[in-house]
Amino acid sequence: MDTILVRGGNTLKGQIPITGAKNACLALMPATLLSEEPLTLTNAPRLSDIRTMTQLLGSLGAEVTSLQDGKVLAMASHGPINTRAEYDIVRKMRASNLVLGPLLAREGHAEVSLPGGCAIGARPMDIHVTGLTKMGAEIELRDGYLHAKAQGGKLKGAVIDFPFASVGATENILMAATLAKGTTVINNAAREPEIVDLADCLRAMGAQIDGDGTSTITIQGVDSLHGATHRVVTDRIELGTYMLAPAIAGGEVELLGGRIDLLEAFCERLDAAGISVSETPNGLSVSRRNGRISAVDVTTAPFPGFPTDLQAQMMALLCTAEGTSVLEEKIFENRFMHAPELIRMGAVIDVHGGHATVTGVNKLKGAPVMATDLRASVSLILAGLAASGETKVSRVYHLDRGYEHVVAKLSGVGADIERVQE
């Protein structure tokens, strides 16, 4: 099993290219099921989750060809479509449920396994189900699969009020509504850049969509969609992660393709901590303003708030801040599992429910640590950049789901980091 070794103490300088967004690409790929004509995605990230979605789409009858070393995905769904998404593939990745809406819209029926075989109420698939039911779908859970069928063989437009702004449910309903009969209105829709990116792609395919990026999205159904070529939006989570590298280790790094508008709330917290973020012709430049950073409080929230997917990395930064910081996690429960590993490195962290109090220390110390999830794994690598001695991060297979060539990107700006097999 691979591990990553980080020897702290090096300041960073240079450029890091930011890839296309994993979460955007995973929503864009199922859109190929909505048309018999080709859909091509450029600026695609090369990640294990993308390979899993490729496998899933292939099992449904779609053709997905990886071009230009994986940076371009050429897709087509012109043949017969299989409407059953098997558990053996779906269980690997939560985003697999995004085939439900497109399959229902195109074929009028679908059987999609629940991720991990969980009950609807245990994870927010109930929001997806409620929305599609309002559009005329009959859905029941049998043997771990959602069996869905559109009344009369075609979905119908409806007004759908989400109890909270679910990104996945917004994406599923948005895709389903493009081919529904009549008008669909999504109230309390998610506003994330990945939603806007999906809407841009669907419009390029001929969909009629208004209001994406706001809390109310209106979709006028059309008879069919055509092919298109679409560039995947910049990955704002990868961007924020690498923005924290020079903030933690010192130095100055330019993030190629970076945009402040993707991370305004995050950039505001960096500014309060004493981190300079400036626009360049090619992206963003990040450096400390002077000396030790200042403690800041952070509360995660749906976009345009502070992203939950950057909470673990921000905690790593605040472990050596001057003063005490409070991080409040309001999106996911159990998302402080990285805290005990940071404590092994000398951090002072007290977790109570959805709050974590971080008292900054002068220096972290390298230690053997274990990644518990995707974002936790990279937070430990960031912490290792500022620690004395060697940090050994195990279970780094989590990284491959969301970070492309993390060792090469960090070593390219001066970090002492390597991936080894044991």
Helix residue ranges, H only, 252-319: 264-273, 311-318
**What Å distances lie between residue 189 and 155, 177, 181, 295, 306, CA to CA?**
19, 14, 20, 33, 17
Query: In this structure, how many other beta carbons lie within 10 angstroms of the beta carbon of residue 119?
Result: 11
Annotated binding-site members = 22-23, 94, 309, 331
Annotated binding-site members for phosphoenolpyruvate = 22-23
SS3 (DSSP) at 21? coil
Annotated binding-site members for UDP-N-acetyl-alpha-D-glucosamine = 94, 309, 331
Helix residue ranges, H only, 261-325: 264-273, 311-318
- How far is C-alpha 309 from the chain's CA centre? 7
Whether 251 and 264 have beta carbons less than 8 Å apart is answered as no
Q: Rg of the chain's alpha carbons, rounded to an integer?
A: 22
Those residues whose C-beta lies under 8 Å from the C-beta of residue 41, and which sit 6 or more positions away, are: 20, 25, 28, 29, 72, 73, 75, 201, 229, 230, 231, 232
- How far is C-alpha 148 from the chain's CA centre? 27
Indicate the length of the chain as a whole number. 422
**What Å distances lie between residue 27 and 24, 96, 98, CA to CA?**
5, 9, 7
Report the candidate in 351, 288, 353, 299 with the shortest Cα–Cα distance to residue 322. 288
**What Å distances lie between residue 72 and 17, 105, 316, CA to CA?**
16, 26, 34
Those residues whose C-beta lies under 8 Å from the C-beta of residue 335, and which sit 6 or more positions away, are: 308, 311, 312, 329
Active-site annotation, residues? 118
Whether 251 and 270 have beta carbons less than 8 Å apart is answered as no
**What Å distances lie between residue 329 and 87, 94, 125, 164, 376, CA to CA?**
30, 20, 21, 16, 14
Whether 12 and 247 have beta carbons less than 8 Å apart is answered as no
Whether 267 and 285 have beta carbons less than 8 Å apart is answered as no
